[in-house]
Amino acid sequence: MTLSTAHAISVALVDDHDIVRFGLGTLLSRECDLELVGSFATSTELLNALEIRVPDVLLVDLRLGEGDIDGMALISQVVQRHPGCRILVLSVDDVPANVARALQLGGTAFVNKNAAASELVLAVRQAAKGRRTLPPSLGAESPLLRTSSAEKNSTSAKPGELGARLSSREREILDDLIRGLTINEIALKHGRGQSTISSQKRTAFTKLEIRSIGELFRIKDLIGLGR
């Protein structure tokens, strides 16, 4: 399916089961503020389509078809190439380890496939705003439910305040990451070793109190990146 022009919250999904794609498509199409702009059976189909159009929210199943990459690997690739896309994981495998890993890789939300339709629709709307939705099975005291530092920074920090924490080299590395460059490409661009670039990236992330490129993207405007 080819991505089309969206007029509301644009949503795409990838799942290897025809009936799941049909059901989700039907559900999303009923909402006037949501528009399904892509439905894909494989990661390859999705990644090719994302080169043409990136949706606001992407629904990803953790278990794709035989011979395909898994959902975690797909999340990593999408975040690396299209950091502005909010990723909502839709899976029955909502054990804490899976939820934590998905968030660490840059996912925004995690919803169990057994959740009510209304819960999924709300989670999509929340994800479009960068807000986290997690399975009730985690419990109210789960640390995963706490507001991330990136989310706190995005609402409380003053313009320029976060960027002042970075050195000029750290800033240029983060700017390259926002633009989609890999560590190897950044190293070649600036004539530094990959280990040096990785170290400077880690230092910058520590200063900004973030753990993923997904979180970096959420505060990029406060830092003045990607302009």
| Band of pLDDT at residue 225, cut at 50, 70 and 90 | confident
Nearest residue to 16 (alpha-carbon basis) of 91, 75, 76: 91
Cα–Cα dist 206/53, whole Å: 32
Who contacts 62 (Cβ-Cβ below 8 Å, separation ≥6)?
70, 71, 72, 89, 91, 93, 98, 102
Measured CA to CA, the distance from residue 76 to residue 214 in angstroms comes to 10
Residue 179 has a pLDDT of: 77
| C-alpha separations of 46 from 51, 104, 125, 140 in Å | 9, 21, 21, 34
Q: In the chain, what are the domain boundaries? A: 9-144, 149-223
Among the residue ranges 129-133, 138-142, 173-177, the one predicted with the least confidence is: 138-142
CA proximity to 34, closest of 1, 55, 60, 8: 8
pLDDT at 141: 45
What confidence tens digit (pLDDT) does each residue in 46-85 have?
A: 999 999 999 999 999 988 988 898 889 999 899 888 888 9
Mean pLDDT of 133-149: 60
Predicted confidence (pLDDT) at residue 121 exceeds the cutoff of 90: yes
What's the mean pLDDT in 119-140? Answer: 84
Q: What whole-number percentage of the chain has pLDDT above 70? A: 83
Q: What is the pLDDT of residue 182?
A: 84
pLDDT of residue 7: 63
Mean pLDDT score of the chain: 83
Q: In what order do the strands lie in the sheet with 9-14?
A: 34-40, 9-14, 57-60, 86-90, 109-111
Task: Assign 90 a pLDDT band (cuts: 50, 70, 90).
Answer: very high
**pLDDT score for 65:** 86
Same fold for the domain at 9-144 and the one at 149-223?
Answer: no
Between 74 and 179, the more confident residue is: 74
Fold of 9-144: Rossmann fold (3.40.50)
Give the per-residue pLDDT at 139.
Answer: 54
Lowest mean pLDDT segment, chosen from 42-56, 82-96, 121-135, 210-224: 210-224
SS3 158: coil
CA-based torsion, 180, 210, 90, 73: positive or negative:
positive
CATH class entry, domain 149-223: mainly alpha
